Chain A
Amino acid sequence: MIPSYLKDIGKEIHSNKESTKLKIICTCGCDEFKLFRKKKSREYIKLEKEYEEQFIKEFGRGFEMQSDLNGQVFVIKRNIFGKIVKKTEIKKLDIPLFKNFISVKCSSCCREYILFDENIHGYDAVIEKNQESTIVESKHYSDDSQKIEVIVYYNDDNEEENINDLSVAFGRIKIIKITNNKKITYCDFECE
């Protein structure tokens, strides 16, 4: 299955029940692209770091959460005997979640294509029925050009969901860049 938004530029090179591997080729025929990946702003990194450091200090990196019968959520900490020693109510998170966004620009004709927008692509985005694409104010593409391959991984029980476009409901996407015949994983996102 080829994700519908990649149909025009994705040439299938391998496919099985679980995954599809595509080579990205521009509609002009060129297969060399410059890459862009949305980065977190400095302010966001600072905010996220402060929040996470505080959270990890209190509850650890692997943490436990519990909901009561009313659906109220708490983060809890246990001692070595399993007894709850700390319980903090979780309210709405103040920090918006960062959403990944990857696009490419053809080295020859400069057409741009989105390879992955976490807001609208992938299983979680599809079942949450997100409609809004990520807004990127300015894109700074890489200076060097490379060939691109994309692998998308699917689960076989997505049909049960009332999903309009199953091809976009992949569970994982891996983007590989090929430079000097060397394949390097550019990114690997879990989408569920």
Chain B
Amino acid sequence: MSGAIIGGATGALTAGLNYALGGVKIIGSAQKTGNLFHRFSSNVQAGKFAMQIGRYSEIGLNSKLKTVGLNGAKRLDVTAVARIGKNKLIEVVSKTQTVLSQQNKINAMIASNPGTTGRVVSWALQHWFYF
């Protein structure tokens, strides 16, 4: 009984500290495809979100939208759940995907998650120009 109370109190304190210090939870790992750029690009983008202290509470890598608390079971390369501002959904271009298929995918996801921003990333350095 006392263990549960102490555990609960410690958990709440840790979560509170994490929130106060702007901690961010990373879920999953970047998708492995036949293209090295894809993985690198997903990791760079996730890292960039993680560096914005306090702005995002969770960052999902190749995780389902519902795993990070959004609507839908589809997977995205990077999903950032915002404490402040809009949630961000990132899809990195694969060789077999076209602009049309990417647009279709992002369209459906952000329509079911109102107030969200989605981005298709087509080249590595593009991350640094993304606000």
Query: Which A residues are within 8 Å of any B CB, using their own CB?
Result: 18, 48, 51-52, 55-56, 60-73, 75, 78, 80, 82, 90, 93, 95, 97-98, 100, 123-124, 127, 153, 155, 157, 160-161, 171-172, 174, 185, 187-190, 192
Contact = CB atoms under 8 A, between A and B. Distances in A.
B64 interface: yes
B117 A64 contact: yes
Contact of B123 (A62, A69, A172): A62
B74 interface: yes
B116 interface: yes
B74 A127 contact: yes
A73 B93 contact: no
Given A65-B118, A67-B116, A82-B131, A93 B110 contact: no
Contacts of A65: 103, 106-107, 110, 117-119
Given A55-B99, A66-B118, 15 more contacts: A55-B103, A61-B93, A63-B99, A64-B119, A67-B114, A69-B114, A73-B111, A82-B131, A90-B103, A93-B104, A127-B74, A155-B75, A172-B31, A187-B96, A190-B96
A188 B74 CA distance: 20
A98 B63 CA distance: 25
Nearest to A127: B73
Of all A-B residue pairs in the complex, the 6 with the closest CB atoms, nearest first, are A82-B131, A62-B122, A67-B110, A61-B122, A192-B75, A71-B114
A148 B64 CA distance: 32
A188 B97 CA distance: 11
A64 B118 contact: yes
Given A67-B110, A127-B74, A188 B34 contact: yes
A67 B123 contact: no
A121 to B, nearest CB: 14
A68 B114 contact: yes
A98 B104 CA distance: 12
Contacts of B116: 66-67
Interface string B102-131: 011011001111111111111100100111
Contacts of A73: 107, 110-111
Contact of A185 (B34, B104, B131): B34
Nearest to B105: A124
Given A55-B103, A80-B129, A66 B110 contact: yes
Contacts of A188: 33-34, 95-96
B54 to A, nearest CB: 19
A107 B86 CA distance: 55
Contacts of B119: 62-65
Contacts of A60: 122
Contact of B73 (A52, A56, A97, A161): A161
A155 B32 CA distance: 11
B94 interface: yes
A160 B95 CA distance: 29
Contacts of B34: 174, 185, 188
